[in-house]
Amino acid sequence: MLIQIPLDIPDVQIEKLDTSSKKGFVLTLTSTLKGTTCKCCGKPIDKFYGYSNEITLRHLPILDKTVWLKIKPKRYQCPDCDNGPTTTQTCSWYDIKSPHTKAYEQWLLRDLINSTITDVSMKRGIGEAAVEGIINRYIHQQVDWQAIKTIPLLGIDEIALKKGHKDFVVIVTAINEQGEKHILAVLPDRKKDTVKAFLAAIPVLQKATIQRVCVDMYEGYSNAVYEALSGVVVIVDRFHVAKNYRGCADKARKQEMRALKKTLSDKEYAELKGVMWIFRKRWEDITKEQQVPLLILFRYSPMLQQVYIFREVMTSIFNRSLTKAQAVTELEAWIQQIQELDLNCFDSFVGTLRKWMDEITHYFIQRQSSGFVEGLNNKIKVIKRRCYGIYDLGRLFQHIWLDVEGRRIFGYA
Ligand SMILES: [Zn+2]
């Protein structure tokens, strides 16, 4: 049975279709477009001057068959310029520098979202260098400020490029009123001056729209923001706060488990199997069966029960819709209680909390900042895992850009 499908390429006529080639379907086309603009004077010209050599372009596959388009570009001569220079006609559906149609390249870019160059290259039978070429043709290696009008919320965060390595790169992101996310920069290190230099160089128009900046609890970031941007609200996201106090609770759990391993019999200790993962969960996320080892742990270590409870209380404070002032009161009360109970595993967190109280409680004013930073963080974590080995910051920028903005720009198939 035969079907007819539109080629969906403007201004061409199909001369020949060869389905017998092992390489796939080969279509020979001619352009029905007349004329072009002179490369010298820029005027429209329509004096036909023959054809250039035939070129072959890879196009979107049809029924899993590779599709090749052959076309001889038309040439036109200028009657006005000296020596009558000729110009090759440009068509909207391919770029003279590329061996693929634009439709194919955008399809491949959609394919690259949440994937890797190696993966797409293998899946589509196209060389890695060609995939890189496509990326470079469509995606800048740094921010294109013309594509960004306003930055009501800016995020500054870091990722370690190698596992366990202290080699951080800083990721600057933005979200606008429509909820559209942008990547603004991948900076080579987390020094205050590096971050400050980037912030200071944001074009005046966009800079004036920055209202809030989300940062981790690191003075290099907050000071860079305070020094480079005036009148913005600095927010420490609850996500970063949670990482901190949950880390304290985990450390206490590890220490207690180590002590219990010494004092408990092997049989008793075996009852605590799997408790590490359960301890990390919220009470409402724990099944009845999972409660058992956790409650046994709490019987052996009442201190850990307190740690668990106060960890959960802290989370619940952030879950409530409090005013900034109410949040300060709640957090101070929490500090007082754990100090009365001598839960010194939280000491470092208390220090952090006190130091960053203002920025942390800014979160309660406009809570919507949270999901953005956390969501983007998770995305970047995934990108990082995929992009191990990409130490080129421009390349990293392109990958993050594809994942963050690619769907919006290239559509989602
Ligand atoms: Zn001319």
42 CA from centroid of ligand 1 (Å) = 6
CB atoms within 10 A of CB 112: 23
Q: Around 300, how many Cα atoms within 13 Å sit in the side-chain half-sphere?
A: 22
d(CA 139, CA 402): 8
Q: What's the 95 CA to ligand 1 centre distance in angstroms?
A: 22
d(CA 195, CA 193): 5
List per-residue pLDDT tens for the chain, 413 residues long: 788 888 889 999 999 999 998 989 999 999 999 999 999 999 999 999 999 999 999 999 998 899 999 999 999 999 999 999 999 999 999 998 899 999 999 999 999 988 888 999 999 999 999 999 999 999 999 999 999 999 999 999 888 776 666 678 898 999 888 888 899 999 999 999 999 999 999 999 999 999 999 998 999 999 999 999 999 999 998 888 999 999 999 999 999 999 999 999 999 999 998 899 999 999 989 999 999 999 999 999 999 999 999 999 999 999 999 999 999 999 999 999 999 999 999 999 999 999 999 999 999 987 755 566 667 777 777 777 776 666 788 988 998 898 888 888 887 64
Residue type, 42: G
* 179 CA to centre of ligand 1 in angstroms: 47
Please tell me the distance from the alpha carbon of residue 171 to that of residue 221, in angstroms, as a whole number. Answer: 11
Q: Ligand 1 center to residue 86 CA distance, Å? A: 8
3-state helix, strand, coil in the chain (%, to 5): 50, 20, 30
- DSSP-derived secondary structure for 14-38: EEEEE---TT-EEEEEEE----EE-
| Amino acid letter, residue 213 | V
Query: What distance in angstroms lies between residue 81's CA and the mean position of ligand 1's atoms?
Result: 4
